[in-house]
Amino acid sequence: MGAPHTKLVHDGPTSKLQHVARKAVSKHCRLYLVTLPVFDPRDFADQLKAALGAGDVASLQLRMKDAADDEIRRAADQLMPITQSAGVAFIVNDRPDLAAELGADGVHIGQDDLPYARARVIVGNKAIVGVTCHASRHLAVEAANAGADYVAFGAFFPTTTKETKSKAEIDLLAWWSDLMTVPVVAIGGITVESAKPLIGAGADFLAVCAGVWNHPDGPAAAVKAFNALFK
């Protein structure tokens, strides 16, 4: 079985997470923001602007699990221009069809969504396709060898923003980082206070929802605090 061989980095105004050989980039963890389960796009737009203006952010995932298609479209109309104008990748959760329609930078799929190969056909070769792998090494290696741009492990900590199907251990990140070169995203209940072990274990990205949007000092303060940990 061949080893996965790419790392994700963000590259300027194209709002894409480009592929480069792992040895060609320095290790640097980054933020992967995820929208709250329920939000008003117009109100959320102001929070997003504040967050993106406060420090480095790699991507924003629009996650609206039970929303109608038109609700997702309206939210994207509000948030995608803000995201992409800041040089941040805009990722749609679950729906490669809407990601392609909207001109999003990519899609994130779970194990119960369309298979990777089908999602790739829909969004095209230039888009990002990330795959949830829960706490499974097998699923992660399968996804990476199929061509996924990143794999996501979790949940690492308890979370109230989504139903968790698995509990991931931090040594999973260390194993992946040591052996594989496809980027790994850590997800699940991550806060400024809990992030350090994940960064130390080799996470390329921290997927954060409530840890930013519900931070007691506001999203901008949270982004600044996370970025301070990445240095």
Could you give the domains of the chain?
A: 7-230 (3.20.20.70)
Q: What is the pLDDT of residue 142?
A: 97
pLDDT at 5 over 70: no
How far apart are the C-alpha atoms of 206 and 196, rounded to whole Å?
10
pLDDT at 16 over 50: no
Q: What is the pLDDT of residue 18?
A: 37
Average pLDDT of the segment spanning 185-207: 97
Q: What is the pLDDT of residue 27?
A: 65
With CA atoms as reference, report the closest residue to 229 among 213, 210, 9, 208: 208
Q: What is the CB neighbour count within 10 angstroms for residue 180? A: 22
With CA atoms as reference, report the closest residue to 154 among 20, 34, 3: 34
Report pLDDT digits (tens) over 29-63: 999 999 999 999 999 999 999 999 999 999 999 99
- Locus of tokens 């999602």: 119
Range in 16-25, 188-197, 221-230 the model is least confident about: 16-25
How far apart are the C-alpha atoms of 231 and 217, rounded to whole Å?
21
Q: What is the pLDDT of residue 71?
A: 97
How far apart are the C-alpha atoms of 201 and 120, rounded to whole Å?
29
pLDDT at 219 over 70: yes
CB 10 within 8 A of CB 183: no
